[in-house]
Amino acid sequence: MYDWLLGGIDNYKADRDACQILLEIAPSTKALAVNNRAFLRRVVKVLAQEYGIRQFLDHGSGLPTRDNVHEVAQRVATDARVVYVDNDPIVLAHGRTRLVENDRTAIVQADMRDTDGIFRHSDVTRLIRRDEPTAALFVSVTHCLKDHEVQPMIDAVKERLAPGSFMVICQLVSEHEKVREDVTALMADATGGNWGRVREEDDVRGYLRGLDIIEPGLRDVTDWRPDREVHPRQHVDDWVEWGGVGRLP
């Protein structure tokens, strides 16, 4: 569904049909997807360029698209290392051919809730040095998990990261109860119940509690250090991708 919203071609009729219903509930969803992806590019660039991060662990990386994490990071520093993690076999099939372009990039098929398994995976031990700060990315993924699954996953990752590492987290939030309920019901239906929930800003604040939130703070990610890249604004406030970046002490 996300691929179709981004204008991609790696999607099926069932995805497109569900997206049509989604757009009726939340008409800004295409702009939201494009803006989310633009945030991902900006945040990787900022962390590589301004904070010197050279290793990225991208949870729920999604289908390859334009300017993937390793391309952005390795443009800043050719020695940057990226491990993509996703549990969708289609993402893995496309990722192996279109993401793994050099020996500093890998894609791992894993459930992002299996932090132990991920950190023991040979590609992760090869590319993610435990004594060096990492950027752990959770961009537009925590809404895929049930309430009780999100915080334990985040805590488990934090425990394994070196001081000075970064957690990048954003997820779908809405101020409107009806949007939250309708989208959650649609997605539960589209995924056979294998989805979480559209949440509220406070939930995301909670995920990042105890970390130093870097400027410009937590917000609609469209407004997180916007650059001159042209991206359509959302004209309705039905829902947003909301979050930001926290740094481990």
Residues at the site binding ligand SAM, with contacts judged by CB under 6 A: 2, 36-37, 40, 60-62, 85-88, 91, 111-113, 139-141, 144
Smallest distance from ligand SAM to CB 107, Å = 11
Exposed, middle or buried: residue 56 (CB in 10 Å: 0-12, 13-18, 19+)? buried
Q: Which ranges of 107-146 does DSSP label H, i.e. alpha helix?
A: 115-120, 122-127
DSSP characters over 171-229: EEE-S-HHHHHHHHHHHHHHTTT-----B-HHHHHHHTTTSEEPTT-SEEGGGSS--S-
User: Least distance from C-beta 43 to ligand SAM, angstroms?
Assistant: 10
Q: How far is the CB of 141 from ligand SAM (least distance, A)?
A: 5
Task: Scan for tokens 């997605």, then name that residue.
Answer: 187
Q: Residue 32 or residue 161: which is nearer to ligand SAM going by CB?
A: 32
Q: Which is nearer to ligand SAM, 18 or 112 (CB)?
A: 112
User: Using an 8 Å Cβ cutoff, are 134 and 128 in contact?
Assistant: yes
> Closer to ligand SAM at the Cβ: 62 or 244?
62
Q: Tokens 């010197």 appear where? A: 52
Of the pair 102, 191, the CB lying nearest ligand SAM is at: 191
**Nearest distance in Å: CB 126, ligand SAM:** 20
Question: What is the nearest approach in angstroms of ligand SAM to the Cβ of residue 249?
Answer: 26
Q: Is 163 or 180 the residue whose CB approaches ligand SAM more closely? A: 180
Q: What's the rounded Cα separation, in Å, for the pair 122 and 161? A: 17
Nearer to ligand SAM, 72 or 144 (CB): 144
Residue 13: CB minimum distance to ligand SAM, A? 18
Closest CB 42 distance from ligand SAM, rounded Å:
12
Q: Which residues contact 206 (CB under 8 A, 6 or more apart)?
A: 151
Distances (CA, A) of 242 to 39, 67, 167: 11, 21, 14
Sequence-ordered alpha helix ranges (H) in the chain: 2-5, 13-25, 29-49, 69-76, 89-98, 115-120, 122-127, 147-160, 177-190, 201-207
Residue 11 or 249 with smaller CB distance to ligand SAM: 11
